[in-house]
Structure 1
Amino acid sequence: MSRILYSLSGTDISRPFSPHCWKAAMALHHKGLEFDEKLLSFTEIPTVEGGVTKLVPLLRDEDTLVSDSFQIALYLEETYPFAPSLFGGEGGKAMARFVEGYSQSTIHPAISAIALMDIYNMVAPADQAHFRKTREAMFGKPLEEIFPDREGAIAAFPAKLQPLRHMLRSQPFIGGASPLFGDYIVFGALQWLKITTGSVHLPADDPALDWFERCLDLYNGLGRTVA
């Protein structure tokens, strides 16, 4: 197949966990496009496609290479305009940028505080060395000391999704009656948390959890293929 999505996994290559790769995979399914997914470790990423990127997702579509999940979504929208829209118009693109900002500034840091050591334990020794080096350089302290209160982070996590709950009073998806790329942005974050820690750490009666379950069911239960 000429369409390949390069994604991230740990030692178990059946369990891709990157939130950004999940966004891209959901976007491809939304468009109804067939693709092969190639799972890479952290240290393998620079070895593919001539070292064009150090980060995934990376999409090869025939002779075109596109990195960054949002850029992949924009590329798919422009290249396949007759397939279902990921944004529903220019306003939807702007809305998705806001959702991305909310997710990466609020949800992602909260997940990192829970999942950091889980991620470290999922990857091979060479990738552990890479993960430790990059995160310790970023935070200026040993990996084990970056987020010392995991239980406190779990207790605080549900509050980070209050904007999502507020929206769900009016509609079933961020995209309205059906999901758009904005949904896949937040879904990717919660899928990252679920795969790395085994839970999304939300109460059973949480509307945000109900929304996540609906997203797991999309595309013949794509999100449920990774336990």
Structure 2
Amino acid sequence: MLNTSSFKRGEPMDRIVYDLCGRDERLRFSPYCWRVHLSMAHKGLAYRTEPWRFQQKEKIAFADHDKVPVLVDGDTVVTDSFEIMRYLDQTYPDAPLLGEGQSYQRALFFKLFVERSVSPALFRIVVMDLLEAIHPDDRDYFRETREANFKMRLEELHNPTQGREQLDKVLTPVNALLKESAFLDGEAPAGADYLLFGSFMWAHVVSREALFDEHQPISRWFEKMLAIHDGMAGQAPTVREV
């Protein structure tokens, strides 16, 4: 289970993040949930996680939504990782994640880049590992829904070599930036870093596949991201330990 104790601040927790778990409840691999975990840590907000699986729709029916993350903050319920990040900026304005105006628009563009270019490449690398990491009761559901979406079998989608080639291409501008900057958002991580890192954490938790060359700037950035917020992500259980 994700340990949030290292960055808890404030009064006893009335915040809950509903969080996707796998075959072992300690496996937390949703890229969207990881965006929220890091954003909560960035804001220094105390919360607890509530494990959720793909077919437990009734568990989050109160949110009028069928996917996680779901954030419960007192009487407020927020769905969708990007909307949660925006809510956190509006409600807890210290340490901005996305910013406003032009900064927000650039963050929105980067979100779309991650979801439409980076994540599809990662999916080709780790899809069969991901299927194995999912709870056995959810595997048929996962296969049926994803194969309907992609219009092919998961075994056809799974091609780590092609996925890494695709990933290297789409990461070219990211690597160029990280040659000049410690993080995507400058000297310290913020929203853009969390948007991208969430997808890499997804792959990191479920797979033993190498994602990139260790000499690439993004590899060094990933190691730094594992260490931020008292090593919250770096301490998360993966399939290599569970």
* Smaller-chain TM-score bracket: over 0.9
Q: Give yes or no for the alignment of 1:34 onto 2:46.
A: yes
Aligned to 2:128: 117
Specify which of 208, 218, 221 is matched with residue 211 of structure 1. Answer: 221
Q: Which one-letter code corresponds to 1:218 in the other structure?
A: I
Aligned to 2:142: 131
Change (3 A) 1:29 1:148: closer
**Aligned equivalents of 1:162, 1:39: Cα separation in 2:** 35
**Aligned equivalents of 1:138, 1:88: Cα separation in 2:** 33
Aligned to 2:30: 18
Change (3 A) 1:200 1:26: farther
Provide Cα deviations, 1:144-191, integer angstroms capped at 9, x if missing partner. 23x153333234433321111111132111111111111100011111
Specify which of 100, 111, 117 is matched with residue 100 of structure 1. Answer: 111
Change (3 A) 1:114 1:164: same
* Structure 1: segments with no counterpart, 5+ residues: none
Specify which of 62, 71, 77 is matched with residue 59 of structure 1. Answer: 71
Q: Which has the higher helix share?
A: 1
Query: 2:118–2:171: 8 Å Cα contact kept in structure 1?
Result: yes
CA RMSD in angstroms, aligned pairs only: 1.6
* 1:123 shift after superposition: 1.7
* 1:196 shift after superposition: 1.4
* 1:219 shift after superposition: 0.3
User: So what's the TM-score if we normalise by structure 2?
Assistant: 0.87
**Percent same amino acid among aligned pairs?**
32
Change (3 A) 1:181 1:71: same
Query: 1:13–1:39: 8 Å Cα contact kept in structure 2?
Result: yes
* 1:46 shift after superposition: 3.8
User: So what's the TM-score if we normalise by structure 1?
Assistant: 0.92
Q: Tell me the number of residue pairs that the alignment of Structure 1 and Structure 2 aligns.
A: 225
Specify which of 144, 165, 176 is matched with residue 175 of structure 2. Answer: 165
Query: 1:23–1:69: 8 Å Cα contact kept in structure 2?
Result: yes
**Aligned equivalents of 1:8, 1:107: Cα separation in 2:** 20
Aligned to 1:140: 151
* Structure 2: segments with no counterpart, 5+ residues: 1-12
* 1:129 shift after superposition: 1.2
Query: 2:128–2:158: 8 Å Cα contact kept in structure 1?
Result: no
